[in-house]
Amino acid sequence: MKFTILTLFPEIIEGFFSSSIMAKAVERGLIDLRLVDVRDFAFDRHRTCDDAPYGGGAGMVLKAEPLAGALDSVDAADKRVVFPTPSGRPFTQEKACELSREGELVFICGRYEGIDQRIIDLYVDDELSIGDYVISSGEVASLVMIDAIYRLVDGVISGESLEEESFTDDLLEYPHYTRPQVFRGLVVPDILLSGHHAEIARWRHQRRIEKTAANRPELLKRSGDEDRTNTY
């Protein structure tokens, strides 16, 4: 799968792609990265990419022409284009799964107050939000989504790890322990040392229900486990 990323700050993205699991996926040919510096498509003397909003108001807006030039240079009109924005639909695990099946995704990293609406009208397929808060860097929002997506691409990590983690169903993860058996007076639950796989699976499922009830009660309604919070 190929990630094409349009940004004014390519160095933010480069660091992430040279990190361990991602770098391995790139090395193995499972993931490909194409970085496009939007400033290369700003043709005035100062290579200006932002301007004041029509109608007044605070902040600056990313201009249409450099973005359109960058998008045309990668034939974005024929590709799935994602624009991370707090005004978007929620980005979920389900969406990550759907996007992981695309051959190529084009991400537009916004800055300032936003981007010219005509770019959204002309090119963008998915306006997506990573949560109900505002961050200043579209690069960080894109990387959050890319991290969630690339690990679902066939062959990047083992299917077993994917199956067990939170959000493959509607329950959060069970607690994990590793050596030593006692740490600062806290012991690993006996059941995990018992070797009884069925019992361990039952214990873990119950911990998942409890964790979900405590941290995300609204998810229990979706998973059908809301009556099972006190059974182990």
Annotated binding site for S-adenosyl-L-methionine: 110, 130-135
- Indicate which single residue of 131, 155, 189, 224 sits in contact with ligand ADE (rule: CB under 6 A): 131
Nearest CB to ligand ADE, comparing residues 66 and 84: 84
Asked if 129 touches ligand ADE (CB under 6 A), the answer is yes
Question: Between residues 85 and 212, which has the closer beta carbon with respect to ligand ADE?
Answer: 85
Which of 133, 158, 159, 185 contacts ligand ADE by CB under 6 A? 133
- Which amino acids are annotated as binding site, given as ranges? 110, 130-135
Judged by CB under 6 A, the residue of 134, 193, 201, 214 near ligand ADE is: 134
Residues in contact with ligand ADE, shown as a per-residue x/- string from 72 to 111 under the rule CB under 6 A? ------------xxx-------------------------
DSSP for the chain, please give it.
-EEEEEES-HHHHHHHHTSHHHHHHHHTTS-EEEEEEGGGG--STT---EEPPTT--SS-EE-HHHHHHHHHHTTGGGSEEEEEEEEEEEP-HHHHHHHHTSSEEEEE---TTEE-HHHHHHH-SEEEESSSS--S-HHHHHHHHHHHHHTTSTTSS-HHHHHHSTTSSSSPPPP---S-SEETTEE--GGGGS--HHHHHHHHHHHHHHHHHHH-HHHHHHHT-TT-TT--
35-64: which residues touch ligand ADE (CB under 6 A)?
Answer: none
Interface with ligand ADE (CB under 6 A), residue total 11
Q: What is the binding site for ligand ADE (CB under 6 A)?
A: 84-86, 129-131, 133-135, 138, 141
